[in-house]
A and B are shown apart, each in its own frame.
Chain A
Amino acid sequence: MTFNNAFLSLSNFIPEIFLFSMAMVVLLIGITNPLKKYVVSLTIGSTLIALFLCFWGYTEETVFMFNTSLIKDNATEFFKILCYGIFLIQIIVSQKYLKNKNLISGEFYSLLIFALIGCLIIISSNNLIVLFLGIELSSLSLYSLIALNRTSLISGEAAIKYFVLSIIASALILFGFSYLYGITNSLVINEISTYLLSNEISNLYLFSYILIFIGVAFKFAVAPFHMWLPDVYEGAPLPITNFIASIPKIAFFVFAYRFLNDNQILFEDNFSKFILYLGIFSIFIGNMYALAQKKIMRMLAYSGVANSGFIFLAIFTSIDFNFSVAAFYVITYTITTVSAISIITFISSNKFDLVYIKDFKGLSSKSGLVSILFMITLLSTAGIPLTIGFYAKYLVLDALVNQNMIIIAVIVVLFTVIGLYYYLRVIWFMFFETGFNSLIKVNGIYYLAVLSIIPFSIIAIFLFPEFAFNYLFSILA
């Protein structure tokens, strides 16, 4: 690697290098007594600067960095900026909650930044080793973030469960990688995914892809592999749940996109049917189990399972289109989930934790704005018109119908309609029942302003969906 090459790589990697060093600074500031209280603002500031650097270093052309270890193109930059934005909203909203739980410390925020960097590495990696290291960096930080909440027994349980099951998923992914390397003789993902253009598909290639996508399904919590999700959602501190539910999903979507883009394997029936059936089963399990939940986070977890099923269906339909349908769905799902969990974090940041669904009774009498924001979010997750959730689900179903999968589309719609019940129940509780717990306080104009960003953008994008969709289509082409 010549000097010039090294300079090019480093200069294109400035945002992440900056975040790496700021994670260390945050860690050090957390242990010095007078500076301790600036930890949160420093984290927010450094994320903002990294976001700015990401915009500043934006280029149209594709750049390979560190000997094709990393790739930088339109798609990676877009998803990175999305991750930064979501991360900013999460840490701004969660301040008060963490303060109440006595969790604010240098280690906490530095590990959070490390988890973010891990996801950014997954997004931009173009090499199997780097990809695996990115997965490990992000998940190792997340296990320990859950375990940091030592006052809660269920946090410990959630950390252990997440750790063990996530390790199994990583091991499966690594097993698949090892065979892929053996077959294709290359570590570069571009070469692996275009390997089939010049070679016959072999059973071993298919098998390693199945192994890798079982791992991805674990991380997405698609139905037979969803067992960890409800416990983690329930046990982890809400800001960590917020992180787990959103940013790794974007990262793993980009992972799936890198492996399947331009790949003939999607035309292989054995593989595409595997993705399809996982998706349908997930929608079934997610919606059915969510009906029976009493706790709001468990309900959101199962609704997440159902939505991950939709993501897999969208990936299945990318045979005909490119990945823009799936990308649109992933983005819709992540921002609505972030909005929902942020609102719950905001409500539970005063003395009383909002755990059960019936705690929502009469929220509108306390604060109309919060309940309207939460209603918009829930309706978007359910897929009701006037929110982008509707448009995203419509795109997936439209793509399914275009492939003559009408029966499957009908089944999916039926399950989604069943799923409406549990979203609407929360809305019913908020607006038409009384008896709100008077210990809960809902105030803070600064937080409300941040919280309303996503619900308003949900409606705004619904009004002009073509613009967003066409943009995604152009960057993923």
Chain B
Amino acid sequence: MDIISILFYLVTSVVILSSIALIAVNNTVHAALLLVLIFFNTAILWLMMNAEFLAIVLVLVYVGAVLVLFLFVIMLLDIQVQKTVSKKLYLIFSVVISIIMFAELYMVIFYHDFENTVVENLSQDTSNTYEIGLLLFTEHIFSFEVTAFILLVAIIAAIAINMSDRERALRQDPAKQILETKKSRLKIIKDNEI
């Protein structure tokens, strides 16, 4: 085994173990930090495939921006760390199903002959960023534009859900409740008025 494959197995095992830990831990801050670990190791995987642009973007965007936001949200929401109560039956079921799924995936993927698949290895001279930019703005220009619209929809939705008519949102206003009278709540409709 050469140094590259040792590194590969090391990094992937860290990714897998921390993914399992991510869904198992109770503390949300720990979970977010484990996610940072996963992203860093995935970035190393990208680097090993000579995709340094993607590796840097992954670290900058996900670790730098998205996860910091996650931590902010966790801090602002002040989530109580609770022990999750799960039934043993669920655990047994999920473990059995996961093992079956894993066995299936193993059989299907590891016995597949990937010889037909061509993996283009980029030469050392070509600039990764240049190639991606070229593809993004010629061949995949439409996907690029649609992505912009998805982000726009996300912004519109987030603002609309949070800002639109706060008065109607489900929350209590004690002052209003005290000032309510019978007249303002009850209305008797007679048959001939309809």
Q: Which residues of A contact B (CB under 8 A)?
A: 1, 20, 27, 65-67, 69-70, 102, 105, 107-108, 110-111, 114, 117, 121, 127, 129-130, 133-134, 136-137, 140-141, 143-144, 147-148, 150-151, 153, 179, 182-183, 185, 199, 202-204, 207, 438-439
Return the chain A residue nearest B143 by Cβ.
A129
Please name all residues of chain B whose beta carbon is closer than 8 Å to the beta carbon of A107 when the two chains form the complex. 156-157, 159-160, 164
Return the chain A residue nearest B140 by Cβ.
A129
- In the bound complex, what is the Cα–Cα distance between A400 and B147 (angstroms)? 42
Contact status of A439 and B194, CB under 8 A, knowing A137-B153, A204-B108: yes
| Complex partner residue of B116 from A27, A144, A150, A199, CB under 8 angstroms | A199
- In the bound complex, what is the Cα–Cα distance between A69 and B138 (angstroms)? 11
Q: How far is the CB of B169 from chain A (nearest CB, A)?
A: 5
Please name all residues of chain B whose beta carbon is closer than 8 Å to the beta carbon of A65 when the two chains form the complex. 142
Contact status of A105 and B164, CB under 8 A, knowing A27-B156, A133-B146, A133-B150: yes
Q: Is the Cβ of B108 less than 8 Å from the Cβ of A140?
A: no
| Chain B interfacial residues counted at CB < 8 A | 37
Q: How far is the CB of B27 from chain A (nearest CB, A)?
A: 22
Contact status of A102 and B161, CB under 8 A, knowing A20-B149, A70-B142, A111-B153: no
Return the chain B residue nearest A438 by Cβ.
B194
Q: Is the Cβ of B156 less than 8 Å from the Cβ of A67?
A: no
Main secondary structure of the interface of B (DSSP, over half): helix
Interface flag for B111 (CB, 8 Å): yes
Could you count the A-B residue pairs with CB atoms below 8 Å apart for me: how many are there? 105
Q: Is the Cβ of B170 less than 8 Å from the Cβ of A150?
A: yes
Q: How far is the CB of A232 from chain B (nearest CB, A)?
A: 17
- In the bound complex, what is the Cα–Cα distance between A143 and B117 (angstroms)? 38
Q: Is the Cβ of A204 less than 8 Å from the Cβ of B194?
A: no
What are 23 A-B residue pairs whose CB atoms fall within 8 Å in the complex?
A: A67-B138, A67-B139, A67-B142, A69-B140, A69-B142, A102-B165, A107-B160, A107-B164, A121-B146, A129-B143, A137-B149, A137-B150, A143-B157, A147-B157, A148-B161, A150-B165, A151-B170, A182-B114, A183-B112, A199-B116, A202-B112, A203-B107, A203-B111
Q: Is the Cβ of A134 less than 8 Å from the Cβ of B108?
A: no
Q: Is the Cβ of A133 less than 8 Å from the Cβ of B147?
A: yes
Q: How far is the CB of A63 from chain B (nearest CB, A)?
A: 14
Q: Is the Cβ of B140 less than 8 Å from the Cβ of A207?
A: no
- In the bound complex, what is the Cα–Cα distance between A183 and B169 (angstroms)? 50
Please name all residues of chain B whose beta carbon is closer than 8 Å to the beta carbon of A179 when the two chains form the complex. 109
- In the bound complex, what is the Cα–Cα distance between A142 and B169 (angstroms)? 20
Please name all residues of chain A whose beta carbon is closer than 8 Å to the beta carbon of B118 when the two chains form the complex. 185
Given contacts A133-B143, A203-B111, A207-B104, 6 further A-B contacts (CB under 8 A): A1-B138, A110-B156, A147-B157, A147-B161, A182-B117, A202-B112
Interface flag for B125 (CB, 8 Å): no
Interface flag for B132 (CB, 8 Å): no
B26-84: which have CB < 8 Å to A?
Answer: none
- In the bound complex, what is the Cα–Cα distance between A301 and B169 (angstroms)? 28
Q: Is the Cβ of B141 less than 8 Å from the Cβ of A144?
A: no
Contact status of A204 and B112, CB under 8 A, knowing A141-B153, A182-B117, A438-B194: yes
- In the bound complex, what is the Cα–Cα distance between A52 and B143 (angstroms)? 26
Please name all residues of chain A whose beta carbon is closer than 8 Å to the beta carbon of B116 when the two chains form the complex. 183, 185, 199
Contact status of A150 and B108, CB under 8 A, knowing A70-B142, A129-B143: no
